[in-house]
Amino acid sequence: MSDLFEILESKVMGHNLKIVFPEGLDERILGAAGRLAKAKLVTPVLIGDIGLIQEKAKDLKVSLDAIEIYDPKNYIMMDEMVEAFVKVRDEATDVQAREILKDANYFGTMLVHMKLAHGMVSGATHSTADTVRPALKIIKTKPGVKKTSGVFIMVRNEEKYVFADCAININPNAQDLAEIAIESAKTAQMFDIEPRVAMLSFSTKGSAKSPETLKVVNAVELAKEMDAQIILDGEFQFDAAFVPSVARKKAPDSLIQGDANVFIFPSLEAGNISYKMVQRLGGFEAVGPILQGLNRPVNDLSRGCSEEDVYKLAVITAAQGFVAQYQ
């Protein structure tokens, strides 16, 4: 396990954080849940048929001693959950709510919303939409944040960088980019990265002008208004944000002098391509996507994930949940 996860494990250890896994029958989920419980990092909460989960865990030799299991069909607090759901989704009737809450992702999200759990990890067998939609409808975004976004922590030995948005927003506007920048800086701090945020473009400090570059220029100004304490600047080409000698030539007056560690891409296309190139060509581990901007943490796995991926994302989610409970 890298130093990155040792940092997070030390943060969540001993705080009795509960993380929901709606896909309780999946072997990867069960394996990771068993490891998390054995290490006493979090209390895993599995959703599904209790008998089937117990049988599967027995086959896999996974102890369920420190794991909670809830079945939406036989949940003792369903009346309270239905009432809470109708309050947050007032267009739904009690009958409709009971039907919706049979869905494991909606049920799990409600556990987080009702503060019966600190976060949720899903996506091993569900699509991103199946995971994110209930979170946006129920947990919703933080005050002042209109959209959630997805970041990757790029790790290679002692190097750690934050890339955003690489997962959610296809063509963010200036306001979106500013929000993504501020939330990404907060995510960086959670990983003990002191954020130095670069807003990226194909232009550095006006070297080219187009609607695309002006969007980033405006985003920089908005982000500085939102949080003047964060070291943030742009617009930058990547080399001007990352290479000191280039920064001295292209942006000599900037606070960022080739030492940026949080990179905000102008589009999902740019962000997604870049993180995959850095991962494959540069030998970096890509940790994520980590969803940010929600009131309480919900994170999405790839359907091709491994047990190790589940374990790591659960630790990250627990760390987010620890931070969220004090906000």
105-154: pLDDT as tens digits = 999 999 999 999 999 999 888 888 888 899 999 999 988 889 899 999 99
What per-residue confidence (pLDDT) applies to 113?
95
Local confidence band at 325 (pLDDT 50, 70, 90 cut-offs): low
Q: How far is the C-alpha of 28 from the C-alpha of 34, rounded, in Å?
A: 10
Please tell me the least confidently modeled range out of 1-5, 54-58, 163-167, 287-291.
Answer: 1-5
pLDDT, tens digit, 9 for 90 and up, residues 49-85: 999 999 999 999 999 999 999 999 999 999 999 999 9
What per-residue confidence (pLDDT) applies to 13?
82
The label of the residue with tokens 């102008």 reads: 266
State the architecture of 3-140+296-324 in CATH terms.
3-Layer(aba) Sandwich (3.40)
Please tell me the least confidently modeled range out of 39-48, 196-205, 302-311.
Answer: 302-311
Average pLDDT along the chain: 92
Q: How far is the C-alpha of 95 from the C-alpha of 269, rounded, in Å?
A: 41
CB–CB of 312/5 below 8 Å? yes
pLDDT, tens digit, 9 for 90 and up, residues 148-175: 999 999 999 889 999 999 989 999 999 9
Query: How many CA within 13 A on the CB side of residue 69?
Result: 21
* Structure-token pair, residue 151: 């970041």
Local confidence band at 15 (pLDDT 50, 70, 90 cut-offs): confident
Local confidence band at 191 (pLDDT 50, 70, 90 cut-offs): confident
The predicted model scores a pTM of 0.86
What per-residue confidence (pLDDT) applies to 324?
73
Q: How far is the C-alpha of 252 from the C-alpha of 271, rounded, in Å?
A: 26
Cα angle, residue 96 at apex, residues 90 and 97 outer, rounded to 5°: 65
3-state secondary structure of 150: strand
Question: In this structure, what DSSP letter does residue 142 have?
Answer: P
Contacts of residues 35-39 at CB distance under 8 Å and 24 or more positions apart, as own/partner, are 35/307, 35/311, 36/311, 36/314, 36/315, 37/63, 37/65, 37/66, 37/67, 38/63, 38/66, 39/9
What per-residue confidence (pLDDT) applies to 121?
95
- For residue 160, what is the enclosing H or E element? strand 159-164
Q: Do domains 3-140+296-324 and 149-285 have the same CATH topology?
A: yes
- For residue 156, what is the enclosing H or E element? strand 149-156
Of 156, 193, 142, 172, nearest in space to 264 by CA: 172
* Structure-token pair, residue 277: 């190139």
pLDDT, tens digit, 9 for 90 and up, residues 213-243: 999 999 999 999 999 999 999 999 999 999 9
Q: How far is the C-alpha of 308 from the C-alpha of 183, rounded, in Å?
A: 26
Percent of the chain with pLDDT over 90: 78
pLDDT at residue 10 tops 60: yes
Q: How far is the C-alpha of 105 from the C-alpha of 132, rounded, in Å?
A: 9
Local confidence band at 322 (pLDDT 50, 70, 90 cut-offs): confident
Topology of domain 149-285 in CATH is Rossmann fold (3.40.50)
* 154: β partners: 161, 286
Q: How far is the C-alpha of 39 from the C-alpha of 80, rounded, in Å?
A: 32
Domain ranges within the chain, ordered by starting residue: 3-140+296-324, 149-285
With the CA atoms of 149, 201, 154 and 256 taken in that order, what torsion angle do they form, in degrees rounded to the nearest 10?
-110
Q: How far is the C-alpha of 114 from the C-alpha of 139, rounded, in Å?
A: 9
pLDDT at residue 20 tops 80: yes
Q: How far is the C-alpha of 202 from the C-alpha of 245, rounded, in Å?
A: 18
Q: At what angle do helices 307-324 and 27-38 cross, to 10 degrees?
A: 60
pLDDT at residue 326 tops 60: no
Of 15, 12, 10, 23, nearest in space to 309 by CA: 23
Q: How far is the C-alpha of 99 from the C-alpha of 304, rounded, in Å?
A: 29
Instruction: Report the residue count for the chain.
Output: 327
What per-residue confidence (pLDDT) applies to 327?
57
pLDDT at residue 1 tops 60: no
